[in-house]
Every structure is written in structure tokens, then in C-alpha cells.
């Protein structure tokens, strides 16, 4: 039997809501060639079957694979969004639906889901108090969501909560410091940026984003040599970043003028 034959058998089972049997047939279709674009429909349909059974992690994996073999098809991104929403990973779900909408900008079903999810995220952000969060990654997620909506002061509070909840000096904690530095950068608290960047760099001396934040802060304080040193350090870790090259040029020009 061909890949399409197996898929059609799966579709027949799916129509009568016999999801375990549908999954078996879709699996056989995928096995013919897991990397072929033709497998995308079977990944998508198997994801829908897993979602119907409440197996959302498996649905997400199939959504990922669907996107992998057919990146510009709405269904893979949509399946990812449905699975992520069911897993309460709302911000990731919103990004998945946004990607789906890029493939079909006039798709009303996706737009409705985006609108509903934005309201849900807004309500969650407004109701959640940083002190009630018990998981640092959840605190970071909320901070990221608020940051993307321009709520920098409140985002900073959630990153602070993530820092407080992380007892060990690990890479995640360095990221929380760096994210809080980004909030302070937005409100031009350059000394605060430097303090948080230093805390991140104490954990990971090669944290490129922390070095970049500190470079921008030093530049804001007109400490041109320190800014240049940080930009050069970023360049040695992550060469070719345009904003870093521009920063180097600015600092060199200012130093020549002194």
C-alpha cells in the first residue's frame, strides 16, 4: 500500500472517531517516508487524533514534524497551536497561531483563535501576582508576555520572582537577570542594567546578551571605552551581529572625538 492508501484508511477511522485505529494507519503512512512532504497530512491528522484523545504532548510532536516537512502549510502550525493551548502554554500557542496566519492571512478560524487567546493572556497577566508564582519558568513566561506588551515594570517583577525562586547559580538564572536588564534598558535605568548584566556574567562570563545589554548601558552613560570593550567581547562570542558592529563604530567615533 502507498502512503496515501494508509492515510485514507486513517481518515476513514478518524471520521467515525475511532482515533486509536486512525493513529495506527497514520503511523503506517508516515513510516513509508517520515521526511517526505507527503507525510505532512498524516502528521497533521495523527496530531488531531492525539488531541482528541487528550494526548497533547504527542499532538505537539506531530505538529512539529508536520511543520518540519511542510513549513509553509497552515495545518502544522495550527496543530501546534491547538496542542500548546491545551497544555496551557498560551504564549507559545499564540506564536504558533501567528505562524499559521502567515500562511493564510485571511483564515477566519485562526484569527478567531488568536483574538480569543490574546484576551485570555491579557486576563491572565492582569490577574497573576508575582508573589503567587511558584515556578521560575512560569514567572519568566509571564515576564516575557508582559515585556512583549510594553509592561516593563511589571515584567521586571516577574523576572525578579524567577530569580528569587532559583536558588542555584545556573544558566536559567543568568537568563532571568539578563531579561530583567532588558526591562531596565527600556526605561533607561542604565545603572540597573549594568548591575543585572554583571550578575548574569558572574554566572556565565560569555553570556552574549548580558554583554550586549551592558554595552548599551555603558553607551547610554557615555562610558565609551567600556561600551567598546563589551561590544568587542560580544563580537568575539557571536561574530557578525549588525547592531554590535554599529555599536563598535559609534564608540570608536566618540572616542576619536575626545
Using the predicted structure, report yes or no on whether residue 223 has a pLDDT greater than 90. yes
pLDDT tens for each residue of 146-187: 999 999 999 999 999 999 999 999 999 999 999 999 999 999
| Shared domain check, 193 and 104 | no
- Average pLDDT of span 252-257: 91
| Shared domain check, 244 and 227 | yes
In contact, 187 and 153? CB cutoff 8 Å:
yes
Instruction: For the beta carbon of residue 250, count every other beta carbon within 10 angstroms.
Output: 15
> How many distinct structural domains can be found in the chain?
2
- Average pLDDT of span 42-70: 98
Banded pLDDT at 239 (limits 50, 70, 90): confident
Instruction: Burial-class residue 44 by CB neighbours within 10 Å (0-12, 13-18, 19+).
Output: buried
| Shared domain check, 104 and 37 | yes
d(CA 13, CA 172): 45
| Shared domain check, 109 and 23 | yes
| Shared domain check, 154 and 66 | no
pLDDT at 46: 98
| Shared domain check, 99 and 207 | no
Using the predicted structure, report yes or no on whether residue 10 has a pLDDT greater than 80. yes
Out of 92, 110, 127, a domain closes at 127
pLDDT at 1: 83
Out of 127, 162, 185, a domain closes at 127
Instruction: Identify the CA nearest to 231 among candidates 207, 250, 212.
Output: 212
pLDDT tens for each residue of 116-130: 999 999 999 989 999
| Shared domain check, 108 and 149 | no
| Shared domain check, 155 and 121 | no
- Region of 188 (left: φ > 0; alpha: ψ -120 to 50; beta: rest) is left
d(CA 234, CA 221): 19
**CA dihedral sign, ordered 66, 98, 135, 156:** positive
| Shared domain check, 117 and 212 | no
Could you list the residue range(s) of the whole structural domain that residue 203 is in? 135-258
> Mean pLDDT of all residues in the chain?
95
| Shared domain check, 143 and 121 | no
- Average pLDDT of span 195-217: 97
Out of 100, 127, 154, a domain closes at 127
Residue 151 grid cell: 509592561
CATH, residue 188: 1.25.40.10
| Shared domain check, 23 and 110 | yes
| Shared domain check, 123 and 82 | yes
- Average pLDDT of span 79-94: 96
Amino acid at each position: 500500500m502507498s502512503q496515501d492508501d494508509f492515510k485514507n484508511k486513517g481518515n476513514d477511522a478518524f471520521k467515525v472517531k475511532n482515533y486509536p485505529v486512525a493513529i495506527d494507519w497514520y503511523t503506517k503512512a508516515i513510516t513509508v517516508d517520515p521526511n517526505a512532504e507527503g507525510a505532512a497530512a498524516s502528521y497533521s491528522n495523527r496530531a488531531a487524533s492525539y488531541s482528541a484523545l487528550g494526548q497533547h504532548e504527542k499532538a505537539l510532536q506531530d505538529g512539529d514534524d508536520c511543520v518540519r516537512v511542510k513549513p509553509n502549510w497552515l495545518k502544522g502550525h495550527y496543530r501546534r497551536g491547538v496542542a500548546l493551548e491545551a497544555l496551557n502554554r498560551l504564549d507559545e500557542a499564540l506564536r504558533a497561531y501567528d505562524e499559521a496566519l502567515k500562511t493564510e492571512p485571511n483564515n477566519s478560524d485562526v484569527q478567531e483563535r488568536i483574538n480569543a487567546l490574546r484576551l485570555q493572556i491579557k486576563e491572565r497577566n492582569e490577574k497573576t501576582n508575582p508573589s503567587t508564582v511558584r515556578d521560575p519558568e512560569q514567572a519568566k513566561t509571564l515576564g516575557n508576555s508582559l515585556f512583549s506588551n510594553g509592561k516593563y515594570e511589571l515584567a521586571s517583577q516577574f523576572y525578579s520572582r524567577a530569580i528569587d525562586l532559583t536558588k542555584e547559580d545556573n544558566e536559567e538564572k543568568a537568563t532571568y537577570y539578563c531579561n530583567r536588564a532588558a526591562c531596565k534598558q527600556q526605561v533607561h535605568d542604565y545603572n540597573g542594567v549594568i548591575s543585572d548584566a554583571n550578575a548574569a556574567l558572574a554566572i556565565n562570563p560569555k553570556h552574549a546578551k548580558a554583554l550586549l545589554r551592558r554595552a548599551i548601558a555603558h553607551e547610554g552613560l557615555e562610558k565609551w571605552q567600556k561600551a567598546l570593550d563589551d561590544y568587542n567581547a560580544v563580537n568575539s562570542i557571536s561574530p557578525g551581529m549588525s547592531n554590535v558592529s554599529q555599536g563598535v563604530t559609534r564608540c570608536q567615533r566618540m572616542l576619536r572625538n575626545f
